[in-house]
Chain A
């Protein structure tokens, strides 16, 4: 099958408008006869479910959590970008588009990204109308801050809880439709397969996680807003339940999986503390507005810090290496995430790490300078002319507390260290996956009637996502893009009538799902699911993580395949299939990660260049920066499933850049 990205003709800035003017619409009476299934209730799925129901479609929404409000979008901290230019600092739709293309290292699709930038402003308007309490200044207007990879302040925020507030906004819009009966909500349900009838996605098989019952649900279209697959690394900032199952099952039913190797390793997370650790915690990128990143300039100081014999605050200014400010003077601490993460790894590999664990992985994020700066400012504002050092520090700490209080509390809780008095210790961790199901301009996968939105698709962030852009994309897809594009498709379905679940296709899909569950339950091996998940995570982190080599990737592919074999021989899943069984849930998810992991490594091996979050040691510039190979690799890798990950077929969806010149990214 050849891939058609279905990008509308015409100038970039008119594409979306012209598209909307020319698509088919479904009349309101007919919408009542059309059903849509939405998987996942994060920012993408939640906003899509609410909007489709407002339009009049019958929506069935599914989430594995006990309430749609708990989807992991809720944990997003820093903010959401929009080209409002409220600050008058030179922002525009074009600039947001350009920053996103450049930030993604020229591996995303121009038309999709431009549309994203175009609708970004509507998102803020919509959210304010819903009652989302964004931060405001004393004049009552919306406040902004800055994020990595850009030179303007376009990020709207609600303390360090922006994702929570935006998700509660989408949840409230869903609640209004649930109350009206337009959304039927299925909490504690997990999608186990998608059902294809005559080449079209027509329903799903789901498991009721409380009773264990396997259910059939039909619809005229299926929308996957099921998030990313960062948990293939076991340790990540994802929620414990975040998984690839819905997307992977869709892939096995024909949907191409695009750029699986593009993973975002976020530079500012709390370092790993031990082998019993279950997850990693992010410290928002917004902290890099005020925090300065450094390591000791002398190896002996780094060692003393690790041993605990030297306090970081005792290291003199000239003995510190503010390596981001040194290497990237124009962007400084606000370089994009991939660049900041690699720079941290480079310093730690060279022996300057400051955390006492196996790999000494950790650097400082220091607020002392910001505390002094804000303290002096506050003293002036308050008219205190002879403020003592202590007073200034206290005033400055107060300002930092209002800005980042919840993050500082969280850090203190986890590490037992006080970040107001001593620098935070941070290290990169897996955070987000830019890859996902391949979609065209309509956000439809190559399977008719199956859509992928938000982190579940691949389209907008290229090889590296900029901070505060995930929330933007999730809501753009769900509120403003999918509701148009899906209508164009469903206009052909007004005479179809209700889709029956009493067909051989549903029968077969249900049998397959049941068989897979029984196989896991009856396996009676000797090792718990986590044993395999942790092993997979280590392979991924060591060989498919921040730096990748041909040798390491080949090893990873072989190791993952043999781990998968061992899993099916030796996994033990206690309990029954027909009851609430959290180990069974985990087992199904890990089984899918064990397949995805191999494709992920294969994709990384095939892409013989470095771009964004994908860094191949063989392809770097003299000063260690990523070396892209545009002539050979300016395409999207879309993988077709043919039976097992090692036999997947690569399809190349070429990226045409008509509006942006491909350059080597520079943040120097």
Chain B
């Protein structure tokens, strides 16, 4: 743990009272930030200063602060989850920034992610896409077959895991110039398409989930690959290729 020099920063933060209000960037100087602090701890410090001054603190989503719940978002200096790769905002540390730097902090922007307040957006569209088919239809009975009854090739199981590692944060949407949810949808479609348990409903699943994503206002895949670059969990765009194959074959046979 470094005892490096403290940082003095200028923050430009998006403030918006609620979904109907007009928002704007406000400027806040912030001093003496430890490079060992996380980005959200830096915002905690800003908020405690604002509260002490009688101003209203900045609202932002966050919960586990371990990079796994997917609550945190933020568009930092023009990138979802900021400048580091394979890292969520809550795991981003201030040592990634320079002393004297100006940092722009905005919400994820997409038509399907309306702003609720300040830096918080409504990502319930992702839930609704999952309702459309992000599951295997098996009841809880305790009488399913033994877990080892169907061996699954290690490679497929691992691949399914990498797809399933998506945390549903929405960075892929925020990074895409079309605000497409392709990477998110593809990750779920892939997880099930790779496993024998998911094959039975595979066709309906891909058709319904893709349809729902369009309905929510997410755009078509831009093919630029920005989503893969910005994804904090390294979800590969190969998933999108797999989803497209699944979608095509389902469209032909259904």
Contact = CB atoms under 8 A, between A and B. Distances in A.
Interface string B168-209: 100000000000000000000001100101100000000000
A86 B59 CA distance: 49
A129 interface: yes
A650 to B, nearest CB: 35
B253 interface: no
Interface string B55-75: 111010111111111110000
A50 B148 contact: no
A130 B137 CA distance: 8
Given A133-B160, A276-B44, A574-B51, A410 B197 contact: no
A312 to B, nearest CB: 14
A164 interface: yes
Q: Summarize B's interface: helix, strand, loop or mixed.
A: loop
Contact of B63 (A70, A128, A135, A274): A70
B45 interface: yes
Interface residues of B, number: 78
Contacts of B148: 86, 141-142
Interface in A614-648: none
Nearest to B55: A574
B157 A134 contact: yes
B157 A528 contact: no
Interface stretch (A6-14, A174-182, A297-305): A174-182
Query: In this complex, which of B1, B34, B93 has the most chain A Cβ atoms within 10 angstroms of its Cβ?
Result: B1
B51 A583 contact: yes
Contact of A165 (B54, B126, B161): B161
Interface in B137-183: 137-142, 144-148, 151-154, 157-158, 160-161, 164-165, 167-168
A530 B47 CA distance: 11
B142 A119 contact: yes
B154 A137 contact: yes
B107 to A, nearest CB: 13
A124 B36 contact: no
A54 interface: yes
Contacts of A140: 151-154, 157
Nearest to A165: B164
Interface stretch (A109-117, A248-256, A372-380, A411-419): A411-419
A239 B160 contact: no
B114 to A, nearest CB: 11
Contacts of B124: 66-67, 187
A161 interface: yes
Interface string B1-32: 11000000000000000100000000000000
B59 A176 contact: no
Interface stretch (A88-96, A277-285, A382-390): A277-285
B48 interface: yes
B197 A128 contact: yes
Interface of A: 47, 50-51, 54, 65-72, 74-75, 84, 86, 119, 122, 124-131, 133-142, 158-159, 161, 163-165, 168, 171-173, 175-176, 178-179, 185, 187, 210, 237, 239-241, 273-274, 276-279, 281-282, 355-356, 409-410, 413-417, 479-480, 483, 528, 530, 572, 574-575, 579-580, 582-583
Given A140-B152, A416-B93, 6 more contacts: A72-B69, A129-B136, A131-B160, A277-B41, A279-B65, A572-B51
